[in-house]
Structure formats: C-alpha cells, structure tokens
C-alpha cells in the first residue's frame, strides 16, 4: 500500500463530528501532510489522469525578463472583478471581488472591490490637500509629504459596502456567483496617520460632536462621522497592503473607519470639518437609510455586523467529485474579533466548529476552515459566526422578520436594502454544482 | 544561533526609545489656513442652515436653469428622464418603495448641499449659489413643498418642513458601543 493509499484509508476511517461528513477541524493537522495530500482539489475543469512525467518547454530554456512591476501569471486572467458599468456611463460603477478564486485573508489591491459614484479621479498627489477645519482652534492644511512624516500605524481592516449581499433580500434565491452575491467586501492592511493625531493638532472645540468628511472626486462625496469614532480608530490611510492606496480606493489618501459602512470611509479625502451636528448629507439622509417593513427607515446604521460565508465551495466553484475537501470561508465583524465559526453540512441540524486561521485580527477577515468528506449526495452547507462582543450571525428568517424581503425577484445588481449579514446556505447538487438556497 | 541574535536586540532597544520619544512631541506639520483661502472648498450645509451662502432664488428662475442643465438626465419637469425622478413618489411602504425627495428626504438643506457639490453630473461645482438656490426652489415647488413664488435663501430654506422628517429610527448612538 502506498503512503497516499494509507493516508486515504486513515482519513476515511475518521468519524465525522457532525452530519453529512464534517470532520474534526484538526483532522488534517493530526494526519499530517500525507493526509492532506489525499484531498480532492476544487477544480473548474476535470484534470487529466496521472501519466509519465517529462520536462516541459519552460524547464528547458531560460524564462522571461523580470518586470519592474509584477503581474500575475497569464493563466490567472480569469481572476478578475466583475464590472457593473464598464463603459463608465454617467452613473455609479461597481467592481466586485471574486471571493471564490481567492484564499487567505487579504484581498489583492487590484481585486479589492470598488464603488465609484462618478469614476475614479486622476489625482496628482503633489496637488492634493487635506484640510481640517470647522470647530477647531486652528484650521490646518496638510500635504501628502507632510503626512508622510507623521507617526503611522498599520492595521488589518475589512471594508464592506452597506449594500453588500443585497441580492439576498430577494424573496426567491437568486442564482449567481458568490462574487455577485457577496463581492462588495474586501480586506487589506492599511497604513496611515491616526486621525486623532491630526484633530488634536487642530485642537477640537468642546462643541464639536461630529466630523463631516469629503472627497476630492466629482460628486465631492461627503459623510458625517461621530467624533467618538474619529478619535477612536479612524485613520487617514496612505498605504494599502504596503503600496500607496489604489486610485479606486482613494489615492492618495482615504478615511478608514474600521468596521463601519464602506461609503463612510471617504476616498480621495480632502476635507474634514468638525461640526456640532451631522450634515445629513445625501448618502446618510437618503441612500444609506434602509427602509423597514413598517415603512420607517434606519438612520446612522454605521456598523457592519458579524457575518460569514463559505467561499470554498460556492456558486462558481463546483466540486469535482465525491471525496475530501476543505470547506473554507471568511468571517468578519465591525464589532471586533471573530470568536467562533460553526459549520453545518446538513442545513443546520448539526454543527461542527471550524478552525480559525491565526492571527485573528479585530474588524478584519478571518479565514475559517473545516475538513469535509463529501459522499456525493445532496448537502446543505452553512456557516455561522460569533464575535468577541457576543454577537451571533442571524438566520435568514430572523433577518427577514426584522428587515423584510422583496415581493418579486429583483435584478441581481439591485440594492433593495442594506446591512444584510444573515447565514448563507449553499446547496450541493449531485453533480457537485453549488446553488444559493434559503434554508 | 544566539550569538547572532544579541547584537540585533541591542539595536532594537534604542530604536524603541527613540520612536516613543518622537511620538511624544507631535510633528505639528499642518499649515494654518485662513477662511478666505478655504472658501471655495467650504461647502457643507448643515440641517439647521449653517453654511448656507448669501443670495437666493425662486422656482421661476430655477425652471430656466433646470431646462438648460438638468432636464437632459432627469426629464422635463423632474420626471421621465434616464436618472432619478425629482418629483412625486408614493408614500413609503417598504424597501421596494422608491425613495424620492417628497416621500423620503428628511431635510431640505440636503437638496442644496447635494446639488451644489455633485450636480450637474458632468460639471459639478459649475453652478452659482444663486442657481443652486433657484434649482432647490424649483424642485421643492414642483413637489408642492413650497409655493410657486416662494424665494429660497439662507433664512427660508431650513424652515421648509419635509414630509418624512419623522420617518426615521436613529440607531446611533443607541445601538453602537
């Protein structure tokens, strides 16, 4: 018996810890590398069977010149964002992150989701200015060069559009990739100057209770932020995953409000006014005010609450046949660290605790993983997350009872409501296809 | 290899001390800016009217500006265009209801603020304050929220009571830590 066969038999003998083949979260760690090698890989196309190995052309001659700015392999060209408005017609543009084609916890800069309400401005960093004024002792203006001399901090943080997962408000499940359903959230390491440093330098008047932040883009997009958040963990971010913030994410600087609604994280930020009241700007007075079933609407729904979804497998990433797989996904909360993720393969009848990839950062993506033996039959995968503040991800029926659902199926791109964070259910069909279902 | 580690540790300790010493004294590199130098950017309007500039405009003035600069996207008289309609709207029932100025927007000042900062879509900040007042008056008048001869200015605009002013449940700070 080969080591691989032995490992496979050892794994097959493992007793599931929950229904439909969920294994203990440390089963592979106990079994070691050979056990992991017995897993079936996720494949978009069936692979060829084993054959005699030979050197391919790339092993028989020197390769290409090393570029000054790296680009991914030409074989990865399908790993792209989906665009809602590729011709930049005069309306909002959305670019969604392909979660099913990524792994780990950070989003590559080129694949970070973007929503731009009037395109991405082409800002000359030499001419960009950040002004702090209003209820302060001394209004101040900063250049990028001066900000670069301040003490900086780095932190991991997800940014999520308040309208992410809006298709899940549909009364019938919409069949679309996870990118279409949940692609308006991404996570990066952000580096910049704490906003509190700059506000302190300007000297906050005791009457100051809010800031109104504004971008240098064409709509001069503005949002109000409570001063408590501005003085807590807000940052003027200059770097994203080590390089300057991308144009779509606010080059040369953005306001970062860890865990709070994406739209408030003002991109291309150029002005911060300290005020005694919120501005009731267009985006807080109208757009990000989700209507409830009783006809009233929430105002100032700032926090992106605890949420998780399974990315592997998911619609767009089918299973290639019965056998062993790693179920994995991402969990995050605007209220702090993820404390626990449970996974079910039988629609919530039984649950197994997933392993959390360490380190677990506050208000950032946490990758969860759980080994699974798929027997080839129907399965219903779900994940449920908890955060350190004690919040539990709601079921869809709980969320719908509080927030409503549509009466007819909307377009997949429609933003019927916001702040959807309920449990996501994926149905595994006999052929390995994955469908979005309500369970 | 512990012998190679100890010199590195010796270097680290002074760097940490240096960093905290630098942090203690704020860099103070921000340059003071005067209200005059800031005036072109100082465009926030608050719901109590703070920030509204001098001047004013009427629905009649606004109709002319609207026809020239707005109707192409928003349709004649605020409806029937490719972009958001600006007039009418059934009462809000649930989130399938269309949010309009008349049935949803809680503050009239938002209209002035948003038109001035973001419109027209292809030429933002091209309107004069008088034109923004006039457009605001025209749209409020089309919605019958003011009379067709009412002038909108820094005194009158904040007093316009929007129908859905009390249609909101405020989550902050009650439901945030």
Distance CA A158, CA A394 (A): 20
CB B71 within 8 A of CB A245: no
Closest CA to A307 of A192, A418, A146: A418
Classify residue A350 by its DSSP letter.
S
Question: How many CB atoms within 10 Å of residue B2?
Answer: 5
Using the beta-carbon criterion (under 8 Å), do B33 and A131 form an inter-chain contact? yes
* Of residues A212, A277, A297, nearest to B168 (C-beta): A297
Interface size A-B, in CB pairs within 8 Å, comes to 169
The whole-number pLDDT of residue A27 equals 82
Mean pLDDT of the region A101-112: 97
| DSSP H helical ranges for A210-319 | 227-232, 282
Encoded tokens for B145: 């929220």
Mean pLDDT of the region A270-286: 98
Residues above pLDDT 90, as percent of chain A = 90
Q: A407 — contact with chain B (CB < 8 Å)?
A: yes
Residues of B in contact with A275 (CB under 8 A): 44, 46, 50
The whole-number pLDDT of residue A309 equals 98
The whole-number pLDDT of residue A51 equals 87
Residues of A in contact with B29 (CB under 8 A): 142, 146-147, 149-150
CB A327 within 8 A of CB A319: no
Which structural domains are found in chain A, ordered by start?
A: 130-287 (3.90.420.10), 307-437 (2.60.40.650)
> How far is A167 from chain B, CA to nearest CA, in Å?
13
Q: A264 — contact with chain B (CB < 8 Å)?
A: no
Mean pLDDT of the region B20-30: 68
pLDDT, chain B, mean:
89
Q: A186 — contact with chain B (CB < 8 Å)?
A: no
| pLDDT tier, A3 (very low <50, low <70, confident <90, very high otherwise) | low
Of 3.30.50.10, 1.20.1630.10, 1.10.760.10, 1.10.3720.10, which CATH number belongs to B43-159?
1.10.760.10
**ipTM score of the complex?**
0.91
Please write the tens of the pLDDT for every residue from A297-349: 999 999 999 999 999 999 989 999 999 999 999 999 999 999 999 999 999 99
Sequence-ordered list of residues with C-beta below 8 angstroms from that of A137, at least 6 positions apart, any chain: A202, A203, A204, A205
Element (H, E) at B2: helix B2-24
Helix (H, G, I), strand (E, B) or coil at A425: strand
* Of residues B26, B32, B97, nearest to A139 (C-beta): B32
**Is the pLDDT reported for residue A263 higher than 50?**
yes
The label of the residue with tokens 């009571």 reads: B161
Mean pLDDT of the region A134-152: 97
- The structure's pTM equals 0.91
Using the beta-carbon criterion (under 8 Å), do B110 and A280 form an inter-chain contact? yes
The whole-number pLDDT of residue A391 equals 97
The whole-number pLDDT of residue B8 equals 43
Please write the tens of the pLDDT for every residue from A382-437: 999 999 999 999 999 999 999 999 999 999 999 999 999 999 999 999 999 999 99
Please write the tens of the pLDDT for every residue from A57-74: 999 999 999 999 999 999
Question: How many CB atoms within 10 Å of residue A268?
Answer: 25
Residue bearing the bigger pLDDT, A48 or B57: B57
Residues of A in contact with B34 (CB under 8 A): 139
In chain B, what are the domain boundaries? 43-159
The whole-number pLDDT of residue A41 equals 47
The whole-number pLDDT of residue B15 equals 47
Please write the tens of the pLDDT for every residue from A209-223: 999 999 999 999 999
Q: A201 — contact with chain B (CB < 8 Å)?
A: yes
Distance CA B54, CA A344 (A): 63
Classify residue A284 by its DSSP letter.
I
Using the beta-carbon criterion (under 8 Å), do A139 and B38 form an inter-chain contact? yes
* Of residues B83, B99, B177, nearest to A286 (C-beta): B99
The label of the residue with tokens 């100057």 reads: A193
């Amino acid at each position: 018996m080969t080591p691989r066969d032995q490992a496979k038999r050892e794994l097959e003998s493992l007793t599931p810890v929950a229904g439909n083949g969920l294994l203990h979260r440390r089963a592979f760690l106990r079994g070691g590398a050979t056990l992991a090698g017995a897993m079936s890989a996720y494949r978009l196309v069936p692979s060829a069977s084993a054959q005699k190995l030979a050197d391919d052309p790339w092993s028989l001659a020197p390769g290409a010149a090393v570029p000054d700015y790296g680009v991914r392999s030409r074989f990865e060209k399908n790993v792209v964002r989906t665009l809602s408005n590729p011709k930049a017609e005069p309306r909002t543009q959305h670019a969604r992150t392909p979660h099913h084609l990524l792994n780990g916890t950070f989003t590559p800069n080129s694949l970070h989701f973007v929503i731009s309400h009037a395109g991405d401005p082409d800002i000359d960093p030499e001419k960009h200015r950040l002004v702090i004024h209003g209820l302060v002792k001394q209004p101040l203006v900063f250049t990028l060069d001066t900000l670069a001399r301040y003490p900086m901090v780095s932190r991991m943080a997800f940014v999520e559009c308040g309208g992410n997962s809006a298709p899940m408000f549909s009364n019938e499940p919409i069949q679309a990739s996870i990118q279409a359903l949940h692609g308006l959230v991404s996570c990066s390491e952000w580096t910049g100057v704490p906003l509190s440093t700059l506000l302190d330098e300007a000297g906050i008047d005791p009457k100051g209770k809010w800031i109104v932040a504004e971008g240098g883009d064409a709509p001069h997009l503005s949002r109000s932020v409570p001063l408590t958040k501005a003085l807590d963990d807000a940052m003027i971010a200059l770097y994203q995953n080590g390089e300057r913030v991308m144009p779509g994410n606010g080059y040369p600087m953005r306001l970062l409000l860890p865990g709070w609604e994406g739209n408030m994280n003002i991109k291309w930020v150029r002005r911060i006014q300290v005020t005694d009241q919120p501005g009731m700007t267009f985006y807080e007075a109208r757009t990000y005010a989700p209507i409830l079933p009783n006809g009233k609407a929430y105002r100032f729904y700032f926090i992106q609450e605890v949420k998780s979804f399974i990315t592997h497998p998911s619609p767009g990433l089918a299973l290639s046949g019965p056998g062993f797989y790693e179920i994995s996904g991402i969990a995050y909360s605007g209220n702090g660290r993820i404390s626990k993720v449970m996974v079910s393969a039988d629609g919530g009848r039984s649950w197994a605790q997933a392993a959390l990839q360490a380190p677990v950062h506050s208000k950032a993506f946490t990758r969860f993983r759980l080994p699974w033996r798929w027997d080839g039959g129907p399965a219903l995968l779900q994940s449920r997350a908890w955060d350190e503040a004690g919040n539990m991800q709601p079921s869809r029926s709980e969320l719908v009872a509080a927030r409503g659902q549509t009466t007819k199926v909307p377009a997949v791109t429609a933003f019927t409501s916001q702040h959807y964070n309920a449990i996501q259910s994926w149905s595994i069909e006999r052929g390995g296809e994955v469908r979005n279902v309500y369970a | 290899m512990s012998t190679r580690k100890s010199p590195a540790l010796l270097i680290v300790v002074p760097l940490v001390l240096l960093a905290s010493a630098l942090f203690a004294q704020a860099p103070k590199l921000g340059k003071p800016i005067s209200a005059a130098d800031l005036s072109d950017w100082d465009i926030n309007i608050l719901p109590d009217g703070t920030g509204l500039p001098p001047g004013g405009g009427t629905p009649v003035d606004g109709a002319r500006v609207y026809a020239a600069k707005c109707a192409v996207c928003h349709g004649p008289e605020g409806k029937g265009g490719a972009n958001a309609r600006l007039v009418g709207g059934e009462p809000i029932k649930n989130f399938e209801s269309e949010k309009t100025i008349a049935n949803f927007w809680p503050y009239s000042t938002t209209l002035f603020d948003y038109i001035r900062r973001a419109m027209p879509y292809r030429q933002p900040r091209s309107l004069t304050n008088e034109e923004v007042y006039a457009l605001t008056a025209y749209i409020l008048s089309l919605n019958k929220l003011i009379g067709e001869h009412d002038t909108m200015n820094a005194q009158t605009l904040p007093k316009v009571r929007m129908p859905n002013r009390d249609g909101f449940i405020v989550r902050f700070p009650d439901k945030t830590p």
